[in-house]
A and B are shown apart, each in its own frame.
Chain A
Amino acid sequence: MSLIVVLLLTLLTTSLAAFATRWLGLWTQRAVETVHLSGITIALVITGAIIGRVLQHETLFAVGRWLFVDALGAIFLGLVVVVGFLAGVYSVGYIRYDLIKGEITPTVLSTYYGFFSLFMFAMCCAVLSNNLVMMWVSIEATTLSSVFLVGIYGRRTSLEAAWKYIVICTVGVALGLYGTVLVFANANAVMARPGDAILWTEVMGHAKSLDPATISMAFVFVLVGFGTKVGLFPMHTWLPDAHSEAPSPASALLSAALLNCALLVIIRHAAIVSQTVGPEFPRRLLMIFGALSVGVATLFIAVERDVKRLLAYSSVENMGLITLGFGLGGPIGVAAALLHAINHSLAKTMLFCGSGNIVVKYGTRDLRVVKGMLRLAPLSGVMLLVGFLAMGGIPPFNVFVSEFLTVTAGVKAGYAWLMVVCLIFLTIVLASFVRVISGSILGPAPAGVARGDPSALTLAPLAVLLGLMLLIGLHVPGPVVQLISDATATVLATPAAMAASKGP
């Protein structure tokens, strides 16, 4: 059996087993945590094996070529599973506090972990899909499987966030279906077999013979539709609500994994349309949406006082920056965008989990109430301090490298003025993060809040993430460089990459 299928079955089985533990009475908590941790660990190991094969310049196919992993897919699969694993470990520590505080019951615990793995399963399907319509089905499934994670606390605000999330995203993603169907219909008209016209790898091979007007229209639908799920302005309105109302590890999964999955679908369609009508058309659209997202999100970051909403707007800003990188195009622009996708995911998982520690300690997300985190919970405080600086783009951490690369790509592509504007926005973001550090992490601790860090399970994932961020900041590891280089060739559809992606 293919490794891809084993990975998907592992996550699906973990999900079903987690749901089933609700009937174990007193054993529920222990059983569901064991199932959850075993499942995500096995998934991590299998993903490692899959990426190992891709690093040997192999494209893996499964289920009649409906599923596949190339270098581009491997990066996003790696992000989903690594973020899922670390946020999954963090969940065990974090959700126990919710259980103690009575925020959730043991039955809800099973539901949480069940949907957690189901959500990961849907995201893996999305990044592994070679079938254009199943890509859409999987992205829609990511919404459906994560709605209850957003609304799990059952509060008025969490139900509101869940409702907005499902309504806005189903409408948005449905627009994406139109784009997908137009691509299939057009490919079907020029290709011999309908079964092939639905496969991305095959459509890429025939992209030059597709109808420019139809494919351009299709890309507009795809960009607006899936862009809603990426959180691009002006379709981003669901994102701050959903990210802030979900439990912190689920917020990490939404921000650091889900947004990338939808972006991957856009990038795969952009690669097709670049072949059909030339790269200028998709690049211009990606740049407009990307730059607007960076600009608008920065303004919200500057005034936001809820730590999780602030991080959510930072996700809009960073997804905008990644989209802008793809829009700038060329080998440096695409490589910068891919590296920034990795860097943002690591940093944002770390910060969302860190914000979970703030909620555990203070019982609020309001930065006007949170004071003196460093004195109250020193390890969490230090890691949050460093995490915010890193996310703000301070060297020697990873985000600096990819932001620098993006700006370089912009200047090289002749958009120096736009890069100056972007740098101003990035400076405002950094200043806003410094304000969070000085106002909430440094300073005297308030009276009446118990001292001491939360449990080791809520600290270890943060430390691992910080280590990875420093590692990439100092020296991007060889395998990551190779994946980014191969994925860049795929996005730019170089002849070598096209030949490598041909299936059996």
Chain B
Amino acid sequence: MNGTNLVNSLAGLLILTSLLVIETRRPSRAALLYAVQSSVLVTIFVVLAYLTHSTQLYLWAASSFVTKVVLVPVILFGALRKFDTMVPLPSLMRVAVVVALAAVLVMGCSLIVAPLKLPAAAEFRPALTVSLAHFFLGITCIVTQRNIIKQIFGYCLMENGSHLTLALLANQAPELVEIGISTDAIFAVVIFTVLVRRIQHKLHSLDSDQLMTLKG
């Protein structure tokens, strides 16, 4: 298997790991699986860095390891572990439907990516398609899960998808740009977890159906 195929296959593995994150019931286990997924992402960064001889991407891989494999999972694990014992809330979709939807998303995203002229990512077009599909899978998780903790994981998956797109298309951007995006993501996760704890304290529930008093 050459490097290009490896990147495209690893990108496919991202979809698989995100399905596991979405369907896992215990928040602490979902945090661990998210760390596993982020490890796949970091591996993609390293392979991409090797293939494109990009020092920048090695730096991205290092900073993503710190933030996505260590920091964010630790924050999520620490903050959400205490909700492990809560009765799981049903998803609006069955597992099979989510898997089928993931396949549809990949096909749909390939249509979006097809007309784009992006010489930087010409050989990584499948990976680019998967990164976009992964992003939409994150949104699907947010929309279909009643448990607001799962919505946080949806955000994390979405963020991993956009980070892969960034690595494929914008790996020559200054390192500070990547740091800015990662910092936003960490703060977002912290704020999400603080809000979840406050909502649980006030409503004694993590059900998003309980958050329907306002009319939007």
Contacts and interface: CB of A to CB of B under 8 A. Distances in A.
**Do chains A and B interact in one complex?**
yes
Contact of A186 (B117, B132, B159, B195): B117
B112 to A, nearest CB: 7
Interface in B154-207: 155, 158-159, 162, 165-166, 169-170, 172-174, 177, 180-181, 183-184, 187-188, 191-192, 195, 198-199, 202-203
A189 interface: yes
Given A133-B180, A163-B195, A170-B188, 5 more contacts: A156-B213, A159-B203, A160-B214, A171-B139, A198-B174
B151 interface: yes
Interface in A136-179: 136-137, 140-141, 144, 147-148, 151, 154-157, 159-164, 166-167, 170-171, 174, 177-178
Contacts of A147: 191, 195
Contacts of A198: 173-174, 177
Interface in A223-257: 237-238, 240-241, 244-245
B191 A174 contact: no
Interface stretch (A17-25, A209-217, A264-272, A412-420): A209-217
A134 B195 contact: no
Contacts of B174: 194-195, 198
B135 interface: yes
B158 A133 contact: no
Contacts of A211: 116-117
Contacts of B151: 167
B93 interface: no
Nearest to A139: B184
A140 B203 CA distance: 27
Contacts of A497: none
Interface of A is mostly: helix
26 contacts: A131-B177, A134-B177, A136-B181, A137-B177, A137-B183, A141-B187, A144-B187, A148-B191, A159-B203, A160-B212, A160-B213, A163-B148, A164-B211, A164-B214, A167-B142, A167-B155, A178-B162, A178-B165, A181-B162, A184-B169, A185-B120, A188-B170, A198-B173, A217-B112, A237-B216, A241-B215
A217 B195 contact: no
A108 interface: no
Contacts of A144: 184, 187-188, 191
B188 A166 contact: yes
Given A157-B213, A159-B199, A184 B116 contact: no
B107 interface: no
Nearest to B177: A133
A324 to B, nearest CB: 23
Contacts of B95: none
Given A137-B180, A140-B184, A174 B173 contact: no
A154 B202 contact: yes
Contact of B121 (A177, A185, A245): A185
A182 interface: yes
A166 B192 contact: yes
A165 to B, nearest CB: 10
Contacts of A136: 181
Contact of B215 (A154, A155, A240): A240
A162 B45 CA distance: 34
A188 B120 contact: yes
B162 A182 contact: no
A181 B216 contact: no
A133 B162 contact: no
A449 B198 CA distance: 34
Contacts of B119: 189
Interface string B111-144: 0100111111100000000001001000100100
Interface of B: 112, 115-121, 132, 135, 139, 142, 148, 151, 155, 158-159, 162, 165-166, 169-170, 172-174, 177, 180-181, 183-184, 187-188, 191-192, 195, 198-199, 202-203, 211-216
Contact of B117 (A133, A166, A188, A213): A213
B119 to A, nearest CB: 5
B118 A170 contact: no
B173 A163 contact: no
Given A134-B180, A160-B211, A194-B173, A214 B203 contact: no
A6 to B, nearest CB: 20
B214 A133 contact: no
B191 A166 contact: yes
B203 A156 contact: yes
Contacts of B213: 156-157, 160
A449 to B, nearest CB: 26
Contact of A133 (B120, B165, B170, B212): B170
A156 B159 CA distance: 28
Contacts of A182: 116, 118, 169
A136 B184 CA distance: 10
Nearest to B182: A137
B185 to A, nearest CB: 9
B215 A184 contact: no
A100 to B, nearest CB: 23
A164 B192 CA distance: 11
Nearest to B159: A174
The 10 closest A-B pairs by CB, nearest first: A194-B172, A185-B169, A237-B216, A137-B180, A211-B117, A241-B214, A160-B211, A133-B177, A140-B184, A213-B115
B195 A151 contact: yes
Contacts of B117: 186, 189, 211, 213-214
Contact of B195 (A137, A155, A159, A197): A159
Nearest to A160: B211
B121 to A, nearest CB: 7
B116 A217 contact: yes
A408 B158 CA distance: 43
Contacts of B169: 181-182, 184-185
Nearest to A236: B216
Contact of B166 (A162, A181, A241): A181
A209 to B, nearest CB: 12
Contact of A174 (B135, B198, B202, B203): B135
A184 B181 CA distance: 15
Nearest to B194: A148
A160 B195 CA distance: 9
Given A133-B173, A171-B139, A182-B169, A217 B188 contact: no
B187 to A, nearest CB: 5
Contacts of A134: 177, 180
Interface centre among B187, B211, B214 (most CB of A within 10 A): B214
